[in-house]
Structure 1
Amino acid sequence: MSEPDGIDTPADPGPRRLDIPRGGPLDGAGEAGGARAAREARAHLRLTDCPPRPPDTDENRPLPEGPVTREELALLRRVHRPAPGHAAMRERLRHTHLLALCGEPGTGRAWTGLALLAELTEGDDPAEAAGGQVVRLGSGAVPAGPQIERGHGYLLELPADETDPGPLLDRLRARFTERGAFGVVLVADGPAADRLLSARRHAVPYEPPPAAEVLDHQLSDLLADKPAELLDLARATAARPDVADALGLDEPRPGEAARLARHLAAHAEGRLSDEGLLERCRDFAPDQARAWFDGAGRPGTLPAALPALRTAALRIALAVFNGSAHSLTAEAAELLTWELAVTLDPQYAPGRPLFAVRPGAGLAAARAVCCDGVEDLGDASVAVRAVRFQGRRLASAVLYEAWDGHHNVRGPMARWLRALCDDPRPQVWVRAAVAAGVLCARDYLYGFVELLLPLARADSPVQRMAAATALAEAARDDGVRPAVDGLLRGWALGDDARERETAVLAHGYGLAAGSVRASLEELARPAYADDGRTTSYSVLRLLAGTDPEAVLAALAAWLHDTRRPRRDLALLTVLRAVTTRTSHLWGLGEVPELEPYAAWPLATALLAARPGSAPRLAELLRAALTWARSAAAAEDALVGWIRRAARDDRQLAVLYGFLPRLAHDGDEPLDVRAATRIREVLEAL
């Protein structure tokens, strides 16, 4: 929390007097800029309609090995859309007999490879065709010389453990040339593809055809013998906003477009309901995440496994930092790579590659792109080179799949998130804390021990604030909220000062206890009585939240409570309200009415956004100005409030409308000394 603007706080006037609270629980680190980070993290990770982890389906299994049937080749000729550079690839394959297509699975590499082979072996022109069959080989299978039939075309996939494929492809090319056959080798993006593309002998980078073309041709083929209006209906359904939202991908890959076409055709024919269609669309992003991580464990030893671990780490880091600065995401990915590597082999200390062979290839493998972004620094915003997934559902799908489907990844992920939660930058720790809370909601028993407890008991104030944030985020889940509420009650009554502080901070979000009113009751308990610094900060965050009327009513009631800690809590909160910038009081809920006034003190923002709060605020400020314990601090705070407003005509107009109410309303007249000082300040403006 920054110091109050324009206010010179007086020296401590005595043990029984209140002072303006100096800063917040983070000691000045991490408040500014947290609002944007929290909002974006919630938007990417808190999707309420995510399906459970999908089971294996026929759609996710590899295609059968062996000769490609005539029926499949006929379908290929009808619906295949040529990828950019298709003719050049065909001519290169004709002359070299071997072509490696480097690209991501699901982008249509296999269909393009089959189409190229079919054109050269079974083409319409007998003079051009080799007169053979097209054969699909199993994953990792490499044909020996005697196995290659003259004139045939072979589609194969590079073995996953092949790190230097050049010599292998040289041998294959010689075999295919000798037998008058052709081979297309599918190579996934990674070190092997980088080596091949750098050598420029066998490989070409594969760029998929536009997904819209693939989808339309697939629909036309599936509904070719149906009434024309069904095709129109399927096309219109594909363009529906709810279908696009359920799909959650900016642009489906060709394989996904073909799969979507089958669902749309079934829906148009009445074989699939609206809800059934949306349910199947929601499976696309989880299926992509599952495919990514199912292949991340091959090979399983270092250093050969390091590229796959680095790619997996980048995808997980993108899930947490989706839409944030590329530099933050890249550094977080490298930190997670280290954690994954030392978990796989504790004796191996992985380094970092200094230069990328193909800049941007890593992002392409994660279905991510760079874009223009903005990071909030509190007093200002700065433009950044941001990075994001190409689809709003990919972040949650990746995070859930890594956590739910691969238990041994949890340990390194938990250590990584705890380390990120110690970063003083809110752009880092807030996102990590929200992700930790989301994961704890999926497995509270594990998350409590590995994430929440170590953070809450840490010496770092940022980590304790992160623990509070994660607890509040986890409490959004109805099944987890009672456990979180009970935990915080126990911590509040315990002897560990760090746990007590974490409980106070967690209730500042208004989620763990079930409502803002219940959170206020927890904050007002005698067990929470401290110097008021942390508790008043949490009450103030509730005041900046979704139910300020409930908070103002509670503060007014506390003023008349017989217990001094509650009266002091009300006074300290109102002092904070006139000195604390609204943007520093972000929470985990949306308060759009305060966003135009984020740079204003909270009291001014409330008066502008919610004019009905003026009577309560006047009552609270008048009490602070007239009670001996708080009068001096309240005078200084009010004078600073007015001076700050003088720099902004809009703020000054709000105060001019409020100050007469402060001076004349109520049963007790404003203290003469305070009224005189305020008048002097106003006259000097």
Structure 2
Amino acid sequence: MTDTDPDPAESGGDTSDAPPEPEGEEKPDKGAADDRKPQDEGQDKEKDKEKAEEEENVRSAQDRAADPESAQQWGLFASRMDTAFQAMFGVGASGFAAAGGTANFFLGDTAVGQVGDQNFAGRRRSLEIRVRSGLVAKDVLAQIDEAYVEPDDYRELTRKLEQHQLLFIKARGGTGRTMTALHLLHRSCHEGVRKLDPDARLKSLQPKEFEPGHGYLLESLDPDQAATLKAFHAERLGQYMRDRGCMMVVIVDESTRLPMHEIGDLVSTGFTRVKPDRLLERYVEWGLVGSAPEADHEVLSRPEVKEIIAQLTEEVPARELAKLGDLLIEVAHDRIGFETVRNRYSAAGKAGFGEWFDAQADLEQRAFVIALAVFNDEPVQLVSTAATMLADRFKKLAIPRRGDRSRDVFAVSLTQRVQQARAELANGSQETEFGDVPVTKARFQDERYPQLVLDHVRTQYTQALDVVLDWLLALGSIPNPQVYIRAGVAAGLLSQYDFVNVYRRIINPWAVFGDADQRWAAVAALQVPARLPDYGLQISKLLRHWSRHTLPQLRSAAAQALGTTTSISPEAALKQLRYLARHADWVIAYRVGEAISDLFVRADPGLVLRTLVRWSRDDEFVERRLTALLAVLITSHYVEIQADGSERWPALVWFAEHRPDLRRHIVLLFARLLVTIDFKRRTYVHMKQWVRITRREPAVTRPLARLLRDIGARSGETASIRTHLADWAEDPDGPVTAARTVLEHFDQEEGPQ
């Protein structure tokens, strides 16, 4: 099969903007060049200059892809995003459907996930499940089965779904509606459950979009779409479900109007949330399974615990019940005292928080508390510096005269600041481009405080909130990922309550007027509302708008966001990246390549490889084809896999060896790199780096030789690859011994496997 032969991965896909066939093109006359009049010398020089600049841009993008620092910085961003989310929300940014299984993924030197059987990497037993669009991992569904408590009307929901194959659940958020929908679908659809993208149009769905035997969930129905639904649309969709052996549940917010006279028989409006005490009881029982006999298995029967439970209302979020359950399990094991629980969850404790914040000594102290909310568990010096910036802004508002804004730098010690903030100092380490370094970190004693502090400022101090928003905007321009990522996550938290205002004041300016770092701050901010069903559609539309904007900085920001957003499925993200690749310069192409690397790690490597095969066909647009090939180099440079021991393999070499179904795609992509003039030199440089890795990881040697042989056979470059190996084996500055060993195995291979 030659490079022009069709590959199975190349069939299908969106071809709406495929290049048209040439119409009436005349073949150039071989003798025409001799008869042409001389071109204007100035035009020739301009064309030569443009060509030289284009070649330099190509080299620059490829050199950047090969730079270990690029991979390291990319990996550090992923790691710092997880750290920021953990500090603010108690769960990492990848805690939706992170991968798990047999081998660890690395971006640069930073572990970012695993490859193998997909599972849920968050809390082992969760009362609140959030999943990204696409196929829901089996372990997530198994966890739901383990944790689920049926509401009173569960049987009626089951009856309606089985009768019609289509069910609308109309209920307010926080009632367990998503977990109920997933549980219903998992019980009836044994082939799997998929979450639809938030912009899915129920009226436009076609039978081919449904896999037989699967369940489908639309987690939030757009009010505009809801208002125009007709009985005909519902009946047709229900018939599609029956024909394909599928079922679908659509969640509708209680504030959204539905045409009940059209689809009322498909709607459940009596959905009731399970009582908090029942959920908590189930959670604690699971947590104590297998505990030592001396653990207090009757902890929920203690009078002081019953007092806390009696104060729980139905508005308590499921995640808070889970945290309370964790604390009670710790109490049962006598690892913490009950006073910790009382301070956090009693009515008096909740009232005491507002009183405590309002009683903070002065502007400096309140600024310190707010800065700690944004930079929780970061180095204390960073917290103090950010607090000083914020305090100065408060003073400009509170003390108009500049001469009255003096600061006694020895008035309050850092120890006092930390104590008054109900925080603590702890020894820790910090990831840097130079390795881990020891630092002293500041963090709240109560992990709920970062959200509580910012929420208290938002609801009680509107003027102060204006100052905080301006402060966050300024923090986003500081070229330090520790700072701009934390500022982005804090802005994202506040955007959940006033998205339009925060977007216009902070997120959009970062994306439009900022540099690459500020665009990352905007990406970090968008990740927060993207976690919420009610914002999934808005974030999806926003990224689509950015990806089609005339401003290159917005298209670049869209590419940066599409690799990590949880608001849409990997398939939908790749579709938007495909559009960006069609009109990409080399800067945007590089961002698309990084997004591809992220999806390769966090989603489905097979999906990504098949997509790159389609994008890199000869009949594709040149920009998209070159972007795809650059993405192959970036992914191959950035991503390593640590297999069952200590071995660190280049990811694409590992997949070629261990996934026969993906090997042909990897071979084809590298064959295309070798026969593309813009990438040939850099591809050989990359292969030389693979050979160097065999010195560190001898187990890679033979698989690499087989892969190089297959790439040579596919591309017609076998002799050239062998010549390069022989040259490296004789190069005093090259990997001499490793190249000789690989060459020996290369010559032993008889052909493609």
TM-score (norm 2): 0.53
AA aligned to 1:653 is A
Write the mapping of 1:139-538 to structure 2, written as runs, cut at 5 A: 233-234=301-302, 245-246=323-324, 281=345, 287-295=351-359, 307-348=361-402, 350-355=405-410, 357-512=412-567, 514-525=568-579, 528-531=583-586, 532-538=589-595
Task: Say yes or no: does 1:568 pair with 2:626.
Answer: yes
Residue equivalent to 1:42: 85
In 2, are the aligned partners of 1:323 and 1:373 still within 8 Å (CA)? no
- Output the CA distance in 2 between the equivalents of 1:249 and 1:343: 41
In 1, are the aligned partners of 2:374 and 2:487 still within 8 Å (CA)? yes
Task: Decide whether aligned partners of structure 1 residues 570 and 664 sit closer, same or farther in structure 2, where only a CA change above 3 A counts.
Answer: same
Task: Decide whether aligned partners of structure 1 residues 473 and 23 sit closer, same or farther in structure 2, where only a CA change above 3 A counts.
Answer: farther
Task: Decide whether aligned partners of structure 1 residues 579 and 259 sit closer, same or farther in structure 2, where only a CA change above 3 A counts.
Answer: closer
Residue segments in structure 1 that go unaligned for 5+ positions in a row: 1-10, 52-227, 264-279, 297-306, 583-591
SS in 1 for 2:378: coil
What is the deviation of 1:594? 9.3
Q: Which of the numbers 673, 677, 685 marks the counterpart of 1:636?
A: 685
- Output the CA distance in 2 between the equivalents of 1:595 and 1:470: 36
What is the deviation of 1:502? 1.4
What is the deviation of 1:369? 0.7
- Output the CA distance in 2 between the equivalents of 1:617 and 1:401: 52
What is the deviation of 1:596? 9.7
What is the deviation of 1:389? 1.0
Task: Decide whether aligned partners of structure 1 residues 382 and 611 sit closer, same or farther in structure 2, where only a CA change above 3 A counts.
Answer: farther
Residue equivalent to 1:267: none
Task: Decide whether aligned partners of structure 1 residues 259 and 629 sit closer, same or farther in structure 2, where only a CA change above 3 A counts.
Answer: closer
Residue equivalent to 2:721: 674
Residue equivalent to 1:99: none
- Output the CA distance in 2 between the equivalents of 1:554 and 1:319: 41
CA offsets per residue over residues 83-113 of structure 1, 9 Å max, x none? xxxxxxxxxxxxxxxxxxxxxxxxxxxxxxx
Task: Decide whether aligned partners of structure 1 residues 385 and 562 sit closer, same or farther in structure 2, where only a CA change above 3 A counts.
Answer: same
Task: Decide whether aligned partners of structure 1 residues 419 and 16 sit closer, same or farther in structure 2, where only a CA change above 3 A counts.
Answer: closer
What is the percent sequence identity of the aligned residues?
A: 24
Residue segments in structure 2 that go unaligned for 5+ positions in a row: 1-50, 92-125, 129-295, 310-318, 332-336, 731-735, 738-753
What is the deviation of 1:616? 3.3
SS in 2 for 1:578: helix
Task: Decide whether aligned partners of structure 1 residues 15 and 358 sit closer, same or farther in structure 2, where only a CA change above 3 A counts.
Answer: closer
Residue equivalent to 2:596: 539
CA offsets per residue over residues 168-205 of structure 1, 9 Å max, x none? xxxxxxxxxxxxxxxxxxxxxxxxxxxxxxxxxxxxxx
SS in 2 for 1:562: coil
AA aligned to 1:482 is L
Would you say how many aligned residue pairs link Structure 1 and Structure 2?
Answer: 456
- Output the CA distance in 2 between the equivalents of 1:611 and 1:593: 19
Task: Decide whether aligned partners of structure 1 residues 450 and 18 sit closer, same or farther in structure 2, where only a CA change above 3 A counts.
Answer: closer
- Output the CA distance in 2 between the equivalents of 1:622 and 1:36: 33
What is the deviation of 1:500? 2.0
What is the deviation of 1:600? 7.6
Residue equivalent to 2:706: 660
Task: Decide whether aligned partners of structure 1 residues 677 and 449 sit closer, same or farther in structure 2, where only a CA change above 3 A counts.
Answer: same
Write the mapping of 1:50-65 to structure 2, written as runs, cut at 5 A: none
What is the deviation of 1:384? 0.7
Task: Decide whether aligned partners of structure 1 residues 504 and 283 sit closer, same or farther in structure 2, where only a CA change above 3 A counts.
Answer: farther
Task: Decide whether aligned partners of structure 1 residues 378 and 622 sit closer, same or farther in structure 2, where only a CA change above 3 A counts.
Answer: farther
SS in 2 for 1:525: helix
CA offsets per residue over residues 455-486 of structure 1, 9 Å max, x none? 11224221122112222333222212222222
TM-score (norm 1): 0.58
In 2, are the aligned partners of 1:433 and 1:470 still within 8 Å (CA)? yes
AA aligned to 2:88 is L
SS in 2 for 1:552: helix
- Output the CA distance in 1 between the equivalents of 2:349 and 2:661: 46
Task: Decide whether aligned partners of structure 1 residues 370 and 638 sit closer, same or farther in structure 2, where only a CA change above 3 A counts.
Answer: same
Task: Decide whether aligned partners of structure 1 residues 632 and 549 sit closer, same or farther in structure 2, where only a CA change above 3 A counts.
Answer: same
AA aligned to 1:636 is V
CA offsets per residue over residues 323-378 of structure 1, 9 Å max, x none? 11111111111111112222333434744443354441111111111111111113
What is the deviation of 1:581? 6.2
- Output the CA distance in 2 between the equivalents of 1:243 and 1:474: 21
Task: Decide whether aligned partners of structure 1 residues 37 and 668 sit closer, same or farther in structure 2, where only a CA change above 3 A counts.
Answer: closer
- Output the CA distance in 2 between the equivalents of 1:500 and 1:466: 15
In 2, are the aligned partners of 1:608 and 1:654 still within 8 Å (CA)? no
- Output the CA distance in 2 between the equivalents of 1:611 and 1:436: 45
Task: Decide whether aligned partners of structure 1 residues 359 and 524 sit closer, same or farther in structure 2, where only a CA change above 3 A counts.
Answer: closer
- Output the CA distance in 1 between the equivalents of 2:405 and 2:656: 56
CA offsets per residue over residues 59-103 of structure 1, 9 Å max, x none? xxxxxxxxxxxxxxxxxxxxxxxxxxxxxxxxxxxxxxxxxxxxx
